[in-house]
Amino acid sequence: MTIFVLTGAGISAESGLGTFRDPGGLWRRFDPMRLATPEAFAREPEEVHAFYNLRRRGVREAEPNAAHAALARLEAGLAARGGRLFLCTQNVDDLHERAGSRAVVHMHGELMRARCTACGASRPSAEDLGLGTACPACGRRGGMRPDVVWFGEMPLHLEAIGDALDAADLFVAIGTSGAVYPAAGFVARARAAGIPTREINLAPSDTAGLFDTADYGPATRAVPDFVAEILGEGPVSGSRP
Ligand code: APR
């Protein structure tokens, strides 16, 4: 069985990392056009660095939660049964990896990596970035940026994502509002291919009407329940009968 799971900010919410569009969310407090576009970085690099340095520190201080751990169990459990989990995340945090997931496709890039705008080299970087940061590959300063996908830039790995989605036996969206394409269009593509679809979210998303089944509630309860159901482990303690 191949399951395609798409995750969004909601899966990291109970780890203390904010979402974007919920009340108090990041894009409710900050203007993404001033902080999350290549033009913003060219115009105000220090302001953009300060914003991402703050978010990077938040990720360093956060811990994976039971939902991240459940998806790591799902990956191992499916592989043990000759199946496959394709985990595609819109999130730029590293909580899936720190929970034990071994194959994570970050379609919006990774906050814990830095990329040089001069030579293109990308490397792990958990520390603050600034105009004084030198590229370890070419040595230039002033051009290091968070290796994330900004508005107006092309999401990553779209061909591999499309191939995996078309080959899936089940499509599951977890913790995403369905507000941003191309990720928000994955459910329609799955439906068009006759693939069953399931939404796991705190509340119905913008694309809720396109899902065959749904489980609404906090990810730290709903995702372990889902994984237990898939792996045949029966209901987890505290979940609904
Ligand atoms: N458990 C499950 N779902 C939750 C929880 C929770 N504890 N808390 C919030 N949610 C849900 C919300 O109901 C909402 O539908 O998570 C979703 C978060 O939606 P957004 O804030 O829009 O985040 P996301 O869907 O990941 O945004 C997509 O937009 O700005 C870009 O690059 C950014 O990757 C991001 C993309």
Q: 235: Cβ–Cβ under 8 A, 6 or more apart, which residues?
A: 225, 228, 229, 241
Ligand 1: residue whose CA is nearest its atom 26? 8
State yes or no: 225 annotated in a binding site: no
Tell me, in angstroms, the distance from the centre of ligand 1 to residue 205's CA. Answer: 9
Tell me, in angstroms, the distance from the centre of ligand 1 to residue 216's CA. Answer: 13
236 falls in which pLDDT band (50, 70, 90)?
low
Q: 212: Cβ–Cβ under 8 A, 6 or more apart, which residues?
A: 196, 197, 198
Q: Are the C-beta atoms of 10 and 176 separated by less than 8 Å?
A: yes
234 falls in which pLDDT band (50, 70, 90)?
low
Nearest in space to 70 (alpha carbons), one of 138, 126, 127, 11: 11
User: Each residue of 172-188: pLDDT tens digit?
Assistant: 999 999 999 999 999 99
Ligand 1 binding pocket, CB closer than 6 Å: 8-10, 13-14, 19-22, 25, 90, 108, 175-177, 179-180, 201-203, 205, 218-219
User: Each residue of 43-80: pLDDT tens digit?
Assistant: 999 999 999 999 999 999 999 999 999 999 999 999 99
Give burial (CB, 10 Å; 0-12/13-18/19+) of 186.
buried
Averaged pLDDT score across all residues of the chain: 95
Atom of ligand 1 nearest to the CA of 14: 7
State yes or no: 85 annotated in a binding site: no
Ligand 1: residue whose CA is nearest its atom 30? 20
pLDDT at 159 (0 to 100): 98
233 falls in which pLDDT band (50, 70, 90)?
confident
**Percent of the chain's residues with pLDDT above 90:** 96
Mutate to test the pocket of ligand 1, among 95, 177, 211, 216 (most ligand atoms within 8 A of CB): 177
241 falls in which pLDDT band (50, 70, 90)?
very low
User: Each residue of 118-168: pLDDT tens digit?
Assistant: 999 999 999 999 999 999 999 999 999 999 999 999 999 999 999 999 999
pLDDT at 160 (0 to 100): 98
Who wins on pLDDT, 9 or 237? Answer: 9
Mutate to test the pocket of ligand 1, among 161, 180, 199, 205 (most ligand atoms within 8 A of CB): 180
Q: Which residues pair with 215 in a beta bridge?
A: 200
Who wins on pLDDT, 153 or 237? Answer: 153
N-terminal to C-terminal alpha carbon distance within the chain: 25
Q: Could you give the residue numbers annotated as active site?
A: 108
Lowest-pLDDT range, 48-57, 207-216, 229-238?
229-238
* Domains of the chain by start residue, with CATH: 2-17+64-108+155-236 (3.40.50.1220), 18-61+112-148 (3.30.1600.10)
